[in-house]
Structure 1
Amino acid sequence: MVSESIKATKWYKGLKWVVDFLIGQWFFVFLGIFIMLAYFFPEFAKSHGTLKAQYVISYGAVALIFLISGMSMSTKDLAKNMLNWRAHFTVLTMSFLITSSIIFGFACAVKRANNGSTIDNYLLVGMIVTHSCPTTVSSNVVMTKQAHGNDILTLCEVFIGNILGAFITPLLVQMYLQGEWRFGNPAYQPGGVDIPLTTLYGNVMKQLGLSVFVPLFVGQVLQNVFPKQVKWSLTTFKLSKVGSFMLILIMWQSFSTAFSQRAFESVSHASIIFICFFNIAIYLFFTALSFAYSRPWFILKLFPTEPTVESSKAYTICYKLFRPFYYNKRDTVSVMLCGPAKTAALGVSLISSQYGSDNPKLGILLVPLVLYQAEQVFTAQILVNFMKKWIYYGEAKAEDIENPTVDEETPINNNTTNYVGEEQSSNSRQDFDKVSAT
């Protein structure tokens, strides 16, 4: 035991502050450690390396994340969110169309201003391909849980987006890489295409099936057959932390693969610095854009009140059709995390299959994707704290009222597909008033 006199010293207080800070920021500490391991020992955790990461991490770590997700969500809520076509429309248009078109416009501006003198044109092609990819598979679910958003909706968006991504991403790449971008079109690369699109889609379905659908199904079965045991496991072993650690392992594999392919040595230091700062800025911009897209102010102006018997038929129909596009806070957090995110798991396969694994420009093309994946996780890990505070701003936590000893990291079941905007917040405040009165 440390004596009270030692505890009172400045050096002890300073050391304790440092230790507490490192423990609180354990995610970033471990992420930094594993990136360093990837740099010095890239062969160990790369795909098809010593660890066989294409199986152990790509399947095993991701499967564990979705097994925990399946154990912590109700089947009824999962079915309800799967039928939420409005949210699917919002996320898919944001993820595929809006983000990719903005990046394409930016890349065109940089190419014409730079003319390849500082920023490699193939790096710009990599940016276009990166933002044509679907949303990431695992980090979205982990981050949405941490922010107390609608992680069930996030899981649905991940599954739908990646299934469609195997078709949509190659089409978007062909659409954008024409004219002055013809040099970067996969169809005109000397290496050719290694894998036919049908084979690629089969691989995607295999990966999604084994790492997402099967563990999710097993988790649902366990939750419905052994509800008490599952609830005890989630709280006792703090399985939400396990999901975050699995996310670090996924990043470890991505960086190991990139370092083993000497991807970062293929471009100049100026290009690396540019892409690092650009990724953070564009991720924050897309997050803000996703927020505005999820809660358009004009929806509330056009439909301020629920229709009554005195309302016109046109107002009633338009209210039911358009008002649900103004999402509640938990659904908005889901859209904000899914919209800007891009997957490296499917993205690397798509890029390698389209451009050829022996393409001399492959390393440059992969740099924007690998860096963006790391920076989106880093930035989102910071944003989730603000998102969680925003969700509960002006209202009490229902779980704190019912069970004050609940751990903050315990995932909540988000049986929330309420589309009437802030009505959910007002209902929560009314419930709190009733509890306080009693």
Structure 2
Amino acid sequence: MRHRITPKEYVKRNWLLVGIISCIFLAGLYPRLGSKEGPLHTEYSVKYGAVSLIFLISGLTLKTDSILHTFRQYKLHLFIQLFTFIFIPLVTQVFIKFLAIFGVNAWILRGLITVSCMPPPVSSAVILTRTAKGNETAAIFNSVLGSFMGILLTPILLLFNLGSTTIVPLLGTIIQLTTTVLIPLCLGQTLRNFTNFKEHKFPLNTIGQTALLFVIYTTFCDTFLVPETGLSALDVLFTVLSVLFMQISLMLISFFMSQYFTSDFRRSDIVAIVFCSTHKSLTLGIPILRIMFHGYSHLSQISLPLLVYHPTQIILGGLVVSQLKDWVYLERGKKPPV
């Protein structure tokens, strides 16, 4: 007889998803608390606190030999970066041609194109990959690589796809990536290899996921405080449905396309591919949009798809992470945890 999962077991198994839903609810109750102008000072507590903590934990838990092995997986890195910067913009161009038939707001369509040109984020994809028992090292490498490449490629892609571009703050972005990602990662590796930290039993995975939930909470606080966009309810509905369809399609395409490389990619690699190749950065995206379309009366319409895309990718990730974890366990010959 099949074991029936109790509510307690379901919450334990899917606690990240439950946490995401709780974050959305709490952010909706009092969004100013976790907003950029709020008392939590998220420009520091998130950027240099939670995100740095996530990568410090990654440095503490990753085996150095696995990092060296991941550097040699050039096919995996090539797949993710080509999917992110080439495949998604091309597919989006086709997608907006289809949406234009239904009379979707032209500025929303420009916003969807802008989203497709953005680089990956450096926190959510890594934590979701780790939670799903995917190739965390590959997720970190490609998130950081994609962010650096986005400094150069995103303006070029925007010029090619929209006919307009902007200069990304190069020095500021490099400093931010170095201080929030590379330094904590190297510090974690140093503590792991040159101290007896490995003998301590801290719940690092739980701490990392809690840090991600804090990032998610503050993201939704900012989302709920977005001023009126000047769009009709139908335009907003079209945006939400378009982004949802776009993300689900991209996740499925990346998942099944990578199946053709089963001789090269293990299931843990495919998990990293699904999250890293389809996620887009809000942190870099919003400043780019504000520089590109400064003074435009349609800035809010163009920004809406990215504002919808970011929380949607987190929610969808939370929905599939448990299934992907079971899938990875089966390849390893282990019984999926209840």
Q: Is the TM-score greater than 0.5?
A: yes
- Does residue 333 (structure 1) correspond to residue 271 (structure 2)? The answer is yes
State the partner residue of 2:325: 388
Quick one: structure 1 residues 41 and 269, their matched pair in 2 at CA, closer, same or farther if it must change by over 3 Å? same
Q: Quote the residue 2:146 is aligned against.
A: 161
2:82 aligned with 1:114: no
**Correspondence 1:279 to 2:259:** no
Check whether the contact 1:258–1:366 (CA below 8 A) recurs between aligned residues.
Answer: no
User: What's the counterpart of residue 134 of structure 2?
Assistant: 149
Q: Matches of 1:98 and 1:79 in 2, distance apart? A: 28
Is 1:349 matched with 2:287?
A: yes
Give the 3 Å change call, closer, same or farther, for CA 107–244 of structure 1 in structure 2: same
Q: Which amino acid aligns with 1:385?
A: S
Shift of 1:360: 3.1
Please report how far the alpha carbon of residue 330 of structure 1 lies from its aligned counterpart in structure 2 after TM superposition: 1.5
| CA–CA distance in structure 1, aligned partners of residues 290 and 34 of structure 2 | 18
Counterpart residue identity of residue 251, structure 1: I
CA deviations on 1:113-150 (whole Å, 9 max, x unpaired) are 134xxx32211111111111112211111111111111
Query: In the TM superposition, what whole-angstrom CA distance separates every residue of 1:306-341 from its partner, at most 9, and x where no partner exists?
Result: xxxxxxxxxxxxxxxxx6xx3122212211211111
Q: Distance in 1 between matches of 2:83 and 2:251?
A: 10
1:60 positional shift: 0.9
Provide the C-alpha distance between the structure 2 equivalents of 1:204 and 1:245, rounded to a whole number of angstroms. 25
Larger relative contact order (Cα-Cα within 8 Å, sequence gap ≥ 6): 2
Structure 1 residues 151 and 18, CA, compared in 2 at 3 Å: closer, same or farther?
closer
Partners of 1:133 and 1:347 within 8 A in 2: yes
Verify the 8 A CA contact 1:258 1:367 in the aligned structure 2: no
2:180 is the alignment partner of 1:242: no
Inter-CA distance 231–101: structure 2 relative to 1 (3 Å threshold): farther
Aligned residue in 2 for 1:257 = 222
Within 2, Cα distance between the matches of 1:64 and 1:20? 28
Task: Give deviations 1:79-134, integer Å, cap 9, x for gaps.
Answer: 331243222211000011111111121112212x134xxx3221111111111111
Please name the residue that 1:64 is paired with.
53
Q: Which has the larger radius of gyration?
A: 1
* Deviation of the 1:56 alpha carbon: 0.8
Aligned to 1:78: 67
Could you say what secondary structure the match of 2:297 adopts?
A: coil
Secondary structure at the aligned position of 2:120 is classed as coil
Deviation at 1:22, TM superposition (A): 4.9
- Within 5 Å, which residues of 2 pair with 1:39-438? 39-111=28-100, 113-115=101-103, 119-178=104-163, 185=164, 196-197=167-168, 200-227=169-196, 229-233=197-201, 237-262=202-227, 265-296=229-260, 326-356=264-294, 358-393=295-330, 395-397=332-334
Amino acid paired to 2:207: V
Say if 1:215 and 1:408 are closer, same or farther in 2 by CA, change over 3 A. farther
TM-score (ref. length: structure 2): 0.89
Partners of 2:66 and 2:137 within 8 A in 1: yes
Structure-2 separation of matches of 1:386 and 1:20: 15
Give the Cα separation in 1 of the matches to 2:114 and 2:314. Answer: 19
TM-score (norm 1): 0.70
Deviation at 1:394, TM superposition (A): 5.5
CA contact (8 A) 1:254 1:344 kept: no
CA–CA distance in structure 2, aligned partners of residues 395 and 164 of structure 1? 33
Question: Which amino acid counterpart does residue 232 of structure 1 have in structure 2?
Answer: H
Q: What is the CA-CA distance between 1:19 and the residue it aligns to?
A: 5.8
Structure 1 residue 258: deviation in Å? 3.2
| 1:6 match | none
3-state SS of the aligned residue for 1:38?
helix
**Structure 1 residue runs without a partner (length 5+):** 1-15, 179-184, 187-192, 301-322, 401-406, 410-438
- Local SS of the residue matching 1:64: helix
Q: Distance in 2 between matches of 1:140 and 1:238?
A: 20
d(CA) in 2 for partners of 1:133, 1:163: 11
Is 2:34–2:218's contact at 8 Å kept on the other side of the alignment?
yes
Shift of the 278–110 alpha-carbon distance from structure 1 to 2, 3 Å rule, reads closer
SS state of the match for residue 262, structure 1?
A: coil
Aligned residue pairs total 334
| Secondary structure of the corresponding residue to residue 393 of structure 1 | helix
1-structure distance, mates of 2:198, 2:111: 43
Equivalent residue, structure 2, for 1:304: none
Native 8 Å contact 1:291 1:336 kept in 2 = yes
Q: Which letter does structure 2 place at the counterpart of 1:152?
A: T
SS of equivalent residue, structure 2 residue 227: coil
Structure 2 residue runs of 5 or longer lacking an equivalent are none
Q: Is the 8 A contact 2:326 2:337 kept in 1?
A: no
Task: For 1:87 and 1:53, locate their aligned partners in 2 and report how far apart those are by CA, in whole Å.
Answer: 34
8 Å Cα contact 1:348-1:366 kept in structure 2: yes
